[in-house]
Amino acid sequence: MLRFAFQIFLSAFLLFQVQPIVARFILPEFGGASNVWTVCLVFFQIFLLVGYLYAYLLDRWLPPFKQAAVHAVLVFIALIAFIPLDVGTAFQATEQQSPQISIVLLLLSSLGFPYALISSSGPLFQNWYRTQFPQNNTYRLYALSNIGSLLGLLSYPFVIEPLLSLHQQSLFWSAGFAAYFVLTLGCLWSLKSHKRTSANDDTHALGEGLRGKDVFVWICMAAIATMLLLATTNKITMDVASVPFLWILPLTLYLLSFIICFDRPALYDRRVWIPLLFMTSIFGLVALVRGANSSIYVQLMAYLSLLFVGCMVCHGELYRLRPNPRLLTRYYLVISLGGAMGGVFVALIAPSVFNDYFELQLSWVALFLLAGLCVFSATQFRYRYVDLSAQFCWAGWIALFSMFLFWAAITERTNVLQQVRGFYGVLKLVNHPLPEDHPSGADRYVSLNNGAIVHGTEFFNEDEPLFIPTAYYAADSGIGKAISLHPAAAERGLDVGVVGMGVATISALCKTCESLSFYEIDPNVIAFEREWFSNLSRVRAEGVNASVFLGDGRKLLETQLEQNTQAQYDVLAIDAFSGDSIPVHLLTREAFELYFDHLRDDGVLAVHISNRHLDLTPVVASLASDLGVQGVLVNNERTEDSLSFKSQWILLSKAQHAFVPYESATVLDMTTGYSWTDEYSNLLSVLR
């Protein structure tokens, strides 16, 4: 009995331990975008379905001992072919492929086969356990597997990531897979004396007890729970950062609801969780409407509490409608099918149908619809009019709730001229009217927004663009001073590089520059600048050699260095944001060493650290200390005329004299903080 329990626990641990490891490996390859984790989760959901289908087919066609023999052989093949795990060299993406396809192919080539085998362990080993111990509660092993999954997740940010490098993490997981093979052989040995000819001796049971309504609810509840998980994860990672901690937090709550509902089903009481569902939905609606006006802690509490309560309702109803244990593999197969359908909707269908992130709102409404179906199909009221009144009130709440969500979505579209959704987020072109006496002489300005972040602005007077420094790139901003006060600026035109183009607003600071190079990962951003803004064309008209390179800034800089084609910049600005999220791989020691390889001896590295949720000053200060460079912090406030936004820039240079002309800048305190590296970073330490 213990060997089955331990095998189920280990397989679940490995199943969820590998998810952040692999995602952490490939995140820098795709610009640190939050959608990387979403695509990874959908891949894992689909291969969970593949594993459950494999377990179901083995159960239908073979007796337990032969099932174990086949499984052991396949695990051995995976051990030889895929172990040790090597994500970095398994697949190289090409520029012609979409990021989603590239991620799927990378995961498929490095992990697909062993992941599918481990995914099958839950229903497969539970079914073998049932055949040997039919008197025991098999469903409790499902809760045990979720406990293993939970520990696999939680151990990553608190134990595995701080102590092990990425290479060591892959070796650790590979050793766990080898142990999984050994335990599989142990289970095979314990089944050698099992005399039943086939799992098909339960054929009669497989044909009865399953109602179409129950199967429909299984699929829908599993799909809605997955939609809640992915949509909530999208929401919080886009507004903060795409890092393992914020990936794991929602997934932990998702698994915790599974554990509670399947191991302690009495804790799911509709009289408690249905009222909580209404309460948390109101909390979530308020957070959604307030958006960036709420602190990160309020937003996390609102969205995660609704996620947990919603998953408790979904998984509680799934357990309530569970079939006879003889139908176990079919039950898990249907649940995994529903989960895969929900994941595919969020990651593939929604981006092609919607031009904004409406999956979260849709999952909330769908949750109420299906919860109402379950409640009213099972609840018997003494009086018919009470039943009708309750149903009417429930339907009224859904209608009212949907109206509020629709109103919130419409409000966000105010003055939006164009909106596009892509892999790297939702871009909105917003028109802002100005008063007639505006000091710039403009009557309006246009901004390109990604979530709560403005990627740049341009002012217009009667549709004639004004080529002036604005937003985070005003003349008195950190980047403005880095260019205008550079020691070589009086002698010659500067060479300036910018990681993160936005709408090229920084061009207005570079009218006398020799060259201006932008590194931009999002093709939609480049398309918006070409169609709606004139910053690049205007700076080129001034005689500046302006270039745009498509791709992740760090990868492009590395490629230029390897090919010995790198430019020597006087100023290099790091200004890559998606929503309010930071690409962590651009703020590591290895990245900063790369930046200084591209700078001249008196060059200035300008790092834009404006962020509502994170204080990045200690991180950059520690990196400056490690590299032995000087640094200053430049703050400026938002002006009432909207020409200048509140911003924080840190300027770093190897040259002692670089910051002599600076008067209002604050010398960077390098005695606090610690450096981030490609192997380790800690988001919790910099939360405001």
Q: Are residues 37 and 130 in the same domain?
A: yes
**Would you say residue 206 has pLDDT above 50?**
no
CATH code of the domain containing 12: 1.20.1250.20
pLDDT at 675: 82
> Is 451 within the bounds of a domain?
no
Question: What pLDDT digit, counting tens, does each position of 259-283 carry?
Answer: 888 878 889 999 899 999 999 999 9
145-167: burial string, b at 16+ Cβ within 10 Å, e else: bbbbbbbbbbbbbeebbeebebe
Share of the chain above pLDDT 90, in %: 35
Q: pLDDT band at residue 677, thresholds of 50, 70 and 90?
A: confident
> Is 423 within the bounds of a domain?
no
DSSP secondary structure letters along 558-571: HHHHHTT----EEE
Q: Are residues 196 and 214 in the same domain?
A: no
pLDDT at 157: 79
Q: Which of 151, 185, 201 is the last residue of a domain?
A: 201
> Is 431 within the bounds of a domain?
no
> Is 672 within the bounds of a domain?
yes
CA–CA separation, 489 and 484 (whole Å): 7
**Would you say residue 202 has pLDDT above 50?**
no
Share of the chain above pLDDT 70, in %: 90
pLDDT at 365: 94
Q: Are residues 403 and 476 in the same domain?
A: no
Give the number of domains in the chain.
3
Q: Are residues 214 and 183 in the same domain?
A: no
Phi-psi region of 456 (alpha: psi -120 to 50; beta: other; left: phi over 0): left
**Average per-residue pLDDT in the chain?**
85
Q: Are residues 375 and 401 in the same domain?
A: yes
> Is 446 within the bounds of a domain?
no
Question: What pLDDT digit, counting tens, does each position of 548-558 carry?
Answer: 999 889 999 99
> Is 452 within the bounds of a domain?
no
> Is 408 within the bounds of a domain?
yes
Q: Are residues 248 and 141 in the same domain?
A: no
Phi-psi region of 486 (alpha: psi -120 to 50; beta: other; left: phi over 0): beta
Phi-psi region of 236 (alpha: psi -120 to 50; beta: other; left: phi over 0): alpha
Write out the two tokens for 401: 């709730």
Range of the domain at 337: 207-412
Q: Tell me the HSE value of 488 on the side-chain side, using a 13 A CA sphere.
A: 16
Choose between 341 and 672: higher pLDDT: 341
Q: Which of 373, 395, 412 is the last residue of a domain?
A: 412
**CB 222 within 8 Å of CB 338:** yes
CA–CA separation, 8 and 142 (whole Å): 8
- Tell me the pairing of strands 545-550 and 444-450: unpaired
- Provide the edge-to-edge strand list for the sheet that holds 453-461: 416-422, 425-433, 444-450, 453-461, 464-466
Q: pLDDT band at residue 580, thresholds of 50, 70 and 90?
A: low
Phi-psi region of 441 (alpha: psi -120 to 50; beta: other; left: phi over 0): left
Contacts of 601 (CB under 8 A, 6+ apart): 654, 655
**Mean pLDDT of the region 156-162:** 81
**Mean pLDDT of the region 77-89:** 83
Q: Are residues 138 and 258 in the same domain?
A: no
pLDDT at 89: 52
CA–CA separation, 566 and 558 (whole Å): 9
Q: Are residues 403 and 500 in the same domain?
A: no
Question: What pLDDT digit, counting tens, does each position of 614-641 carry?
Answer: 788 888 999 999 998 988 999 888 888 7
CATH code of the domain containing 255: 1.20.1250
Q: Are residues 192 and 226 in the same domain?
A: no
Quick count: other Cβ atoms within 10 Å of Cβ 203? 11
Q: Which of 201, 216, 238 is the last residue of a domain?
A: 201
CATH code of the domain containing 541: 3.40.50.150
Q: If you ran DSSP here, which 8-state letter would residue 668 be given?
A: P
pLDDT at 177: 94
Q: Are residues 168 and 282 in the same domain?
A: no
**CB 456 within 8 Å of CB 477:** no
pTM: 0.83
Question: What pLDDT digit, counting tens, does each position of 353-374 carry?
Answer: 888 888 999 999 999 999 988 8
CA–CA separation, 434 and 516 (whole Å): 30
Provide φ and ψ at 634, rounded to 5°.
-115, 120
Question: What pLDDT digit, counting tens, does each position of 226-241 carry?
Answer: 999 999 988 887 766 5
Question: What pLDDT digit, counting tens, does each position of 423-470 carry?
Answer: 888 899 999 999 888 888 889 999 998 877 788 899 999 889 999 999
> Is 305 within the bounds of a domain?
yes
Q: Are residues 491 and 511 in the same domain?
A: yes
Q: Are residues 493 and 550 in the same domain?
A: yes
